Structure 1
Amino acid sequence: MIAILTGSGLALIVAIFVTPILIDRQRSRGVGQQIREDGPSRHLVKAGTPTMGGIAILIAIVLSYMLVHIHLGVSFSRSGILVVGVTVFSGIIGLIDDLLKVRNRRSLGLTKLAKFGSQVLVATLFALLAHFWAHVPTAISFVRLGSLSIGLGTVGWCIFAVLVVVGTSNAVNLTDGLDGLASGAAIFAFAAMALISYWMFRHVAAYKVHDALDLAALAVCFVGAILGFLWWNAPPAKIFMGDAGSLAIGSGLGAFALVLRVDLLLLLLGGLFVVETLSVIAQVFSFRVFHRRVLKMAPIHHHFELYGWPETTVLIRLWIFAGVATAIAVGAFYADFLSLGSFGR
């Protein structure tokens, strides 16, 4: 518990103090976000806002995670190292994308093939190490192995893991379209991961996730880091996280679900990210097949903006949705625990 509280506090402090340094540095160099020309017109005023705030998030996560272990003399777990690794490397991909956007003064960075290929490569490496090095089982489940779990085999699970990491990474990236939307929703998801991880540690006989305590400490490092960033990202944002942040956060969230064996529960834990992604899929499918748009603009947060809702209204209502979806996920997790009876205790 001390490690968990310490990690969260350290990450929060680091993010709060590192983020304004990034803001000042980018302003002095005239570096700012390029806004999509096909987006809502009200967003054009945000052009030039400092970006790549995900760097502060990554620094806060890695530094706090390391300091907690050094201070307490606790060894790093293999699962924890893998989650940090996939988060950092995904963040690097996003950072390269952000730098290209700034250099070219366009809202387009890496080509789709280069970006997607890099994500698949990182996710594949994670999947192989997770199974063969961290010994993550090849079955997927909602809350624990043995409870509605499905065995996929080594090849099937690795493919599934790649889809989860890449899919979640891009889902958070799609959600990152309003000041504080993606970061706020991510805080709900990682807080739930921390709670679930700690519960698994306290009841290891039921869940058999032996790295659970370390993962709980890491999850609160994510919460603290994103919370510290949100201090500066809240509307009107002083800085955007950029792809350096959204790709990192998304891949980290997907990796957490995989190593904790709550793969399918991720659909609820990241409920807002799922809805945002489905809105884009529905929009593209409808336009290409029926030559009609189901939304005024995708992702769905832009639809609500064009519908007439103020940006802060969209933000808060979608935060509420994200919080409710996460609460339902945690409730489902606990309900399954109660079904275990005396074994779970």
Structure 2
Amino acid sequence: MSPITDAERDLELTERMIAPDGVRIPNPQLDGYVRGIDFPTLRDLHRDMVVLRRIDAEGVALQRQGQLGLWAPCNGQEAAQIGTARALDPQDFVFPSYRETGLMYVRGAQPGDYVRMWRGEEGAAYDPAALRIAPLQIIIGAQTLHAVGYALGIRHEGADEVAVTYFGDGATSQGDVNEAMVFASSFRAPVVFVCQNNHWAISEPVGLQSPFPLAGRAPGFGIPSLRVDGNDVLACLAAMRWALEHARSGKGPAYLEAVTYRMGPHTTADDPKRYRDDAELEKWRRLDPIARLEAHLRAAGELPQDHLDAVQAQADETARDMRAACLGMVTRPALTVFDRVYAEPHSGLERERAEYAAYLSTFEEA
């Protein structure tokens, strides 16, 4: 097996505020961005991560039971997603990949929104305008170009928004991501690039793609960057506040590398046992983001049992609602696949609709 970076050593090279054992660590660069974050707020972040993990587990179960065509797990990446998402302003617009379930949750996704696309019922899982999240992007890295284009519109209109785009370590090898950073830097676009380095691009370890930290690439484009412990939810929140402040103040793009780990498969179509050993998995299991925050809260006497009980109840209820929404979905008529493809009528699309209708009619005659 190809060598990869040791888990503990890798995370020691990141900005961190809560150590794996739960101890709060002073961080001169980020401490100013968490003023006002009290224990009730930390418990809210804990709740978010627990609920997200339960949503993720339910998605995997639904796929294994034949109710979804696919699911992209985010187990292990809860702090990177929840921490950065909770730093966003409501008007900011997000351009995700296909793994950002936590962003959907923070933005108020409804139970069916998590599964609609993976069940094949809609091209977009949710209303992008309502959640201010672009549709989940399957093409690796393409969303970064969309984010920069949107950010250029923000700058042109003088709007008080920031475009934020999420992608994995594997996407950093794609031309789209690098081209997006060129444009963003050249035109000082108000966009934040968030790389969730979960160490595996399907079966290829990040060490094969880059022997150096991915955050080191951004300064080559003239973009300031931070490499943050992606299993530290407080550090992720603080780093995102720094990046958003930079972009919103007219200084141009910023880049975050959240160093975390994908505990499950790349998607439910993947078998990580074929390329990843159990010892590596166990190392990262000891760095679990939820357990870390629980240790911090417990040491401070701020993790009462009634909070844990309420969080678990909310997580289970969310999963039940998600399952019920999935099983209760009614497939739309086939021709509706052409609806809302364009804002205005399009002759080419109408021709394709007619051709498809003629094709479907042959089954009716039979």
TM-score (norm 1): 0.30
TM-score (norm 2): 0.29
